[in-house]
Amino acid sequence: MPDIGYQNELKRILIDGARELGIELSERQTNQFLTYLEILQDWNKRLNLTSLKDPKEIIITHFLDSLTINKGIEGMGPIRAMDIGTGAGFPGIPLKILRPEISLSLLDSLKKRIEFLKYLSKSLQLKDLEIIWGRAEDYGRREGYRERYDIVLARALARLNILFELGIPFLKIRGLFIAQKGEKLEEELEEAQAAIEILGGGVKGIISLRLPFSGKLRRLVIIEKILETPERFPRRPGIPQKRPLSSDR
């Protein structure tokens, strides 16, 4: 177990990094993040939840990076959000810690990760949080999920032309899809133009910022749902990845 000095250093990195993003963490939120870190490292010994082993890297690369999502929803009141392909809870859980008023659904297709997320949610005492074992292609067609969300989130899951088919069907009209991407955004966005149009979306904006400490470029692509998504989307599991939407479809 880390000594007090090292724990304080981790706490400082978290607080200072969040402040650099314009976020002031409360003592409760800080402790929730440190508990998250401890649980993630413990479970990571048995499951492949993250390739990162250094606690500082986990804070910077996972926690602080996830918090950049807040830039895309500043000023919005209580919202219903879906995090597709959440993995170890990124970016959904950090956002939920920061904005507990958000009603959040976490979707992942691997049962072991779902078990981790349930344990984590209970340990962090998170409320109004739904953890779903399944695929976006299936849940995006289900009543109660399709076109019911204000915000859909995705981080490092797939290329944009695939992501949009998996995520946009969940959105209400005027809802926002926020995808976290890096430096090679323009190429992916150009490739995804047909998918955006077919699925009923439009590009609302792009937010660019540098991650605290690492200095890496983070780009938030924000797509607004303008029209209802055609009923045939999303296509059945595996098809969006095998045959991404393009202008000839």
Angstrom distance (rounded) from CA 141 to CA 162? 16
Nearest-angstrom CA–CA distance, 144 and 149:
9
Residue 87 has a pLDDT of 96
Q: How confident is the model at residue 247 (pLDDT cuts 50, 70, 90)?
A: low
Structure confidence at residue 2 (pLDDT) = 55
Q: What is the pLDDT of residue 4?
A: 86
Is 226 within 8 Å of 173 (Cβ atoms)? yes
For residue 22, which of 83, 74, 90 has the smallest C-alpha distance?
A: 74
Per-residue pLDDT tens over the stretch 125-141: 999 999 999 999 999 99
Whose CA is closest to 240, among 135, 90, 106?
135
- Taking alpha carbons only, the member of 86, 97, 104 closest to residue 180 is 86
Band of pLDDT at residue 248, cut at 50, 70 and 90: low
* Secondary structure of residue 31 in the 3-state scheme: helix
Q: Inform me whether the pLDDT recorded for 202 exceeds 80.
A: yes
Q: Using the predicted structure, report yes or no on whether residue 192 has a pLDDT greater than 90.
A: yes
Which pLDDT score is estimated for 171? 98
Contacts of residue 175, Cβ cutoff 8 Å, sequence gap at least 6: 149, 150, 151, 152, 224, 225
In DSSP terms, which residues pair with 225 in a beta bridge?
201
**Mean pLDDT over each residue of the chain, to the nearest integer:** 95
pLDDT for res 145: 98
Bridge partners (DSSP) of residue 108 are 133
Per-residue exposure over 127-164, b if at least 16 CB sit within 10 Å of its own CB, e if not: eebebbeebbbebbbeeebbbebbbbbbbebbbbbbbb
Integer Cα distance of 199 and 228 in angstroms: 8
Determine the pLDDT at residue 210.
96
Name the pLDDT band for 246 (thresholds 50, 70, 90).
confident
Percent of the chain past pLDDT 70, that is, above it, reads 98
pLDDT for position 249: 52
Q: How many CB atoms lie within 10 A of CB 196?
A: 22
> Span 61-84, mean pLDDT?
95
Q: Where does the pLDDT of residue 184 fall: very low under 50, low under 70, confident under 90, or very high at 90 and above? A: confident
Please report the domains of the chain, with CATH numbers, ordered by start residue: 4-242 (3.40.50.150)
Among candidate residues 151, 236, 162, the one with its CA nearest the CA of residue 199: 162
